[in-house]
Amino acid sequence: MNLTEVIDDFVDHGFPVEKLIGGIMTEWPYPAGTDSLGPDGSIVQRRRLVGVMAWRIDNDYTLLS
């Protein structure tokens, strides 16, 4: 699902769009072709989400055995 579809799903189930925050994964390596927020955050602006956040799983220092 892309961000627009996720927003629609939440709103269709009664979640207020003004409480949604668009998130983008910043873990390296980035998935090829992923642009979840749209050019310049346009999906967030167009759909009037409350904001944007970046997230990552901090596993850079995990030792693999």
Strands (DSSP E) along the chain, which ranges?
A: 21-25, 51-55
Query: What tokens were used for 20?
Result: 């949604």
Length of the chain as a residue count = 65
The three-state secondary structure class of 7 is helix
**What confidence tens digit (pLDDT) does each residue in 17-57 have?**
999 988 777 766 666 555 567 666 678 778 888 888 887 77
The answer to whether the CB of 52 falls within 8 A of the CB of 44 is: yes
pLDDT band at 11 (very low <50, low <70, confident <90, very high): very high
Sign of CA dihedral 37, 38, 39, 41: negative
The overall pTM is greater than 0.85? no
Report which of residues 10 and 29 the model is more confident about: 10
Residues linked to residue 21 through DSSP beta bridges, in sequence order: 51
